Structure 1
Amino acid sequence: MATLCISAVIWVSLNIQPNEVDSQVVAQWRAKLDSQREAMQIIEQKSLAQSAAVGRQLAQMQARLLRMEAIGAHMAEAAELQDGEFDFSALPAQGGPVEGGQTALQFDDLAVELDRLSSAIKRREFELDVLDDVLVNEEIQTTSVVRGRPVKWGWLSSQFGQRVDPITGKTAWHSGVDFAGKDGSDVIAVASGVVTFAGKRSGYGKLVEISHANGYVTRYAHHKELTVETGEVVKKGEAIGKMGSSGRSTGPHVHFEVLKNGRTVDPASYVTRRS
């Protein structure tokens, strides 16, 4: 009773009613709660933004790692490494004793480590790309060497050099070798290169001309049908046309020429050349 009386005296002396004190206190607390809610929303939005940024960074890193695994597996295969020597599909083996105490990784520290790892992955990805290009170039150099037969099935029907012309019956120079075979069978490139001509040429009929490394050019004539175009890159063993008898020809065959620095040479040594 004494306490209530004292409180009443204070309210009267300050001209404040008890219900006014309650409303002011409630208003202050509401204001504080609203301020805290806004602060929580800001923190939550910042946290979501940071999480999204980390998520995007992790997704990019994962994509780069997958690509690096594919390049690494290709390089391991190209280098003919033993199975299991470099397994890019497995996690790297790690371990060791724990020394000293351990602390949880803070978010700021995590962001720093992710940036550092992302930069390292970019550098390694670039290095792998360079190494892969080197291996590919070496492979191209190997497959661009002129050797082999321009047909999968067929037989040598005419040699290089002086011969009796099959149409006129007179002695004439033959600038290539002929391989007879089945009409419509595949004619293949004997080396990787770029098609510098694909079309009709007098005497040759439907002709394909391919430029290779080290000044070599090969020609394949009398096609029934061409399956490549000028400017196209072809690989060794790839079909470039169908055997036929177009142009100056007596039957289905491919006239095969080899040129070295613009001059025709005997294809026989290239046909029989070993890897």
Structure 2
Amino acid sequence: MDIIVVSHSQGRTWRLRLEARRVWGWLPLAAVVIGVLGLTFVAGMNLQSDRGLLPKRIAGVWGAEFSQQRDELAQVKAKAEEDARALARRIAQLQAHVIRLDAAGTRMTQIANIDPSEFSFDRPPAVGGPETEAFGTPAVLEDVIGSLDRLQKTLGDRERQMRVLEDLLLASRLEREVKPSGWPIDSGYITSGYGSRTDPFTGLRTTHPGIDFAAAEGSQVHAVASGIVTEAATANGYGQLIEINHGNGYRTRYGHNSKLLVKIGDRVLKGQPIALIGSTGRSTGPHVHFELVMNGNVVNPGQYLDATR
């Protein structure tokens, strides 16, 4: 039997003569080739994964590694989220400290009468300088948390110190408010001092328990310190009298008024008008008789009041 092979591209033909004895000689070789190809195909099919891409053993190893990496990534993500929440909580605490410090600082600047244009907690501190080369390594989260801890402790210490300072300033201000100082009138002059004098009605030597300030009739009489009005009525010799209790043992009296502007129980502030100058009671002309009582004893007002203003 002959097999003729024709090549159109080359324009040639080949003739293969198949003799029976040659065919039987090739059959073992063909069987071996076919067997090898079959075994290779079967082995490849057995080694393929479910998707037909990777060997099952390798796919299993890689799948386990991927699962472990997913778990580790989830743990890292959870820790990062917890760290972020902790950092946010710490920042919120620091913001609360700063707000309280700002409030306390603003209060103290008001108490101390500091000019807001010179010092204000509403504006950031004025800082600056030329740009220089940075040095050091970037901070990690542990460094940031540690810095926040130290800052929070410092802010807490400063807040306590500022509270104590505020209490001291308030006490000082309160002491200034309730301690008598200044004159009880805006303009005028002293007509009679404290101590021994000749009585204008009898001509005899007597003790004058206060200081007389002469001023225009109807002008205002001011409280020389803050306090509570304990008397506002006509009294023997004083005419229309105002008495104010300032605490700490201080009381002041204002006599001979033509009109009272406050009543018993009223709270008055330092410098507040409390009466109008008059000449009621035992008086020779418009003036205010001013007395200072300390722990129940009448004392010389001159040692407490600024006579020169």
Q: Structure 1-normalised TM-score? A: 0.60
Contact 2:213 2:288 in 1 (8 A): yes
Q: Deviations over 1:168-205 (max 9, x none)?
A: xxx9986443544353x432222x45336254464454
Counterpart position of 1:168: none
Shift of 1:62: 2.8
Q: Secondary structure at the match of 2:221?
A: strand
Q: Deviations over 1:123-167 (max 9, x none)?
A: 2333344345545555665666544320113555777663329xx
1:207 to 242, 246, 267: 242
1:42 to 2:78 alignment: yes
Change (3 A) 1:106 1:31: closer
Q: C-alpha distance in 1, partners of 2:303/2:112?
A: 34
Change (3 A) 1:75 1:8: same
Residue 164 of structure 1 aligns with an amino acid whose one-letter code is F
Q: C-alpha distance in 2, partners of 1:212/1:28?
A: 84
Q: Cα RMSD between the aligned structures?
A: 5.3
Q: Deviations over 1:15-66 (max 9, x none)?
A: x9668x9xx98x9899779857854663454144123213203312432553
Counterpart position of 2:272: 239
Q: C-alpha distance in 1, partners of 2:102/2:264?
A: 34
1:55 to 2:91 alignment: yes
Counterpart position of 2:142: 108
Q: Secondary structure at the match of 1:164?
A: coil
Counterpart position of 2:298: 264
Q: C-alpha distance in 2, partners of 1:259/1:156?
A: 19
Counterpart position of 1:8: 45
1:273 to 2:282 alignment: no
Counterpart position of 1:220: 254
Shift of 1:98: 8.6
Contact 2:243 2:251 in 1 (8 A): no
Q: Secondary structure at the match of 2:261?
A: strand
Contact 2:183 2:305 in 1 (8 A): yes
1:164 to 2:201 alignment: yes
Shift of 1:89: 6.0
Change (3 A) 1:7 1:130: same
Shift of 1:7: 3.9
Contact 2:209 2:291 in 1 (8 A): yes
Q: Which has the larger radius of gyration?
A: 2
Shift of 1:90: 3.1
Equivalences for 1:103-142 in 2 at 5 Å? 103-131=137-165, 133-134=167-168, 137=171
Seq. identity, %: 20
Residue 241 of structure 1 aligns with an amino acid whose one-letter code is I
Contact 1:244 1:252 in 2 (8 A): yes
Change (3 A) 1:76 1:263: closer
Q: C-alpha distance in 2, partners of 1:56/1:149?
A: 52
Residue 210 of structure 1 aligns with an amino acid whose one-letter code is N
Shift of 1:211: 3.2
Q: C-alpha distance in 2, partners of 1:107/1:17?
A: 45
Q: C-alpha distance in 2, partners of 1:4/1:175?
A: 130
Change (3 A) 1:49 1:182: farther
Q: C-alpha distance in 1, partners of 2:51/2:180?
A: 106
Q: C-alpha distance in 2, partners of 1:31/1:272?
A: 88
Q: C-alpha distance in 2, partners of 1:158/1:105?
A: 77
Q: Secondary structure at the match of 1:104?
A: coil
Contact 2:242 2:254 in 1 (8 A): yes
